[in-house]
Chains A and B, each alone.
Chain A
Amino acid sequence: MTTQEFIAAKELDTTGLNCPLPILKTKKELKDMETGSVLKMVSSDVGSLKDIEAFCSQTGHGLLSSQEQGGYYVFHIRKN
């Protein structure tokens, strides 16, 4: 999967932040978005790989992609 497949309505940069801030900020960002739109989130916290997956499975948001790019972690999440 490549990131180009998804058109992100919004981007959120959480680089430099540590657990649980990337999750908390992602939740806050998604709250104001429209259902079905996609959020691109970039993190530098290696823990966010598992955390974002758990967050999406708990909240019902769709995790479209999750990948590492040069030390950063990039996620595409479709709002439920």
Chain B
Amino acid sequence: MNKITEITGASASGDVTRAEFDKWFDERFEFKMKEMAQNKTPSMSIIATKGTLDWAYPPFILASTAAALGWKVSIFFTFYGLLLLKKDVSDMKVTPVGNPAMPMKMPFGPDWFKNIDWPVPNAISGNIPGFENMASGLMKETFKSKGVASIDELREISIDEGVEMHACQMTVDVFGFTKDDFIDNITSWCGATSFLPNAQKSDITLFI
């Protein structure tokens, strides 16, 4: 009995026909592909480029959730996104100016009051001193009352779950930061050249 006959299960007497071999190969190939897909750890690379309170949420929510699902996650913080790695993120702000989709809601009072979307024109939100601080405060308060995690909390969970934090070296130099301004758990200080090969191998790559 020749070995190919044994493997493919073809009749012992004759040679393996091309059709028999193809059938065996197709089945085997499908089985191996499924096996590989099952054993593979999904991976995600995020590029975080924005440093306002509203834009700080998506990278950390997605990263911490993916890590909870057992995925391998890395985030590359560049440009204003680098601010998300500062030790103190409590001064993070959101601006309603030029942001027409942002609802202005009050975090206190009865539900009908909280649900009003206050129409604030740019001329007002852009010209009244302190308006941005107020809007940021209202958003933080609303998030808190709705049980949404703070940026600090999500970042800490992400780090605990093994999310890799890569910080853009060039941004530090350009904006005149020092490394002391940032958290200690930064995986690496690197540039686009180091991060791209990482993104290339990821199943999901997001630019936020």
A70 to chain B, nearest CB (A): 18
* Chain B residues near A59 (CB-CB < 8 A): 68-70
Number of B residues near A (Cβ < 8 Å) is: 13
Q: Which residue of B lies closest to A16 (CB)?
A: B147
Taken together as a complex, chains A and B put the C-alpha atoms of A19 and B61 apart, in Å, by 8
Taken together as a complex, chains A and B put the C-alpha atoms of A10 and B190 apart, in Å, by 42
The reply to whether B68 and A24 form a contact with Cβ atoms under 8 Å apart is: yes
Q: Which residues 20-70 in A have Cβ within 8 Å of B in the complex?
A: 20-21, 23-24, 26-28, 44-45, 55, 58-59
Number of A residues near B (Cβ < 8 Å) is: 16
> Most chain-B Cβ atoms within 10 A of its Cβ — which of A16, A18, A24, A45?
A24
Q: Which residue of A lies closest to B149 (CB)?
A: A21
* Chain B residues near A27 (CB-CB < 8 A): 68, 161
| Number of A-B residue pairs with CB-CB distance less than 8 Å in the complex they form | 39
Q: Which residues 137-157 in B have Cβ within 8 Å of A in the complex?
A: 146-149, 157
Instruction: Kindly identify which residue among B64, B147, B161 contacts A17, using a CB–CB cutoff of 8 Å.
Output: B147
The reply to whether A24 and B70 form a contact with Cβ atoms under 8 Å apart is: no
The reply to whether B68 and A20 form a contact with Cβ atoms under 8 Å apart is: yes
Instruction: Kindly identify which residue among B61, B70, B146 contacts A20, using a CB–CB cutoff of 8 Å.
Output: B61
Check: B169 CB closer than 8 A to any chain A CB. Answer: no
Q: Which residue of A lies closest to B145 (CB)?
A: A16
* Chain B residues near A21 (CB-CB < 8 A): 147-149
Known contacts: A16-B147, A17-B147, A18-B148. The answer to whether A24 contacts B64 by CB under 8 A is yes
Question: 28 A-B pairs, CB-CB below 8 angstroms?
Answer: A16-B147, A17-B149, A18-B147, A18-B148, A18-B149, A19-B61, A19-B148, A20-B61, A20-B64, A20-B65, A20-B68, A20-B149, A21-B147, A21-B148, A21-B149, A23-B65, A24-B65, A24-B68, A24-B149, A24-B157, A24-B161, A26-B68, A28-B160, A44-B147, A55-B68, A55-B69, A58-B70, A59-B69
A60 to chain B, nearest CB (A): 8
Q: Which residue of B lies closest to A58 (CB)?
A: B69
11 more contacts with CB within 8 A, not counting A24-B68, A58-B70, are A18-B146, A18-B149, A19-B148, A20-B68, A20-B149, A23-B68, A24-B65, A24-B161, A44-B147, A59-B68, A59-B69
Q: Which residues 25-72 in B have Cβ within 8 Å of A in the complex?
A: 61, 64-65, 68-70
Q: Which residue of B lies closest to A20 (CB)?
A: B65
Taken together as a complex, chains A and B put the C-alpha atoms of A45 and B64 apart, in Å, by 18
Q: Which residue of A lies closest to B70 (CB)?
A: A59
Q: Which residue of B lies closest to A23 (CB)?
A: B68
Q: Which residue of B lies closest to A59 (CB)?
A: B70
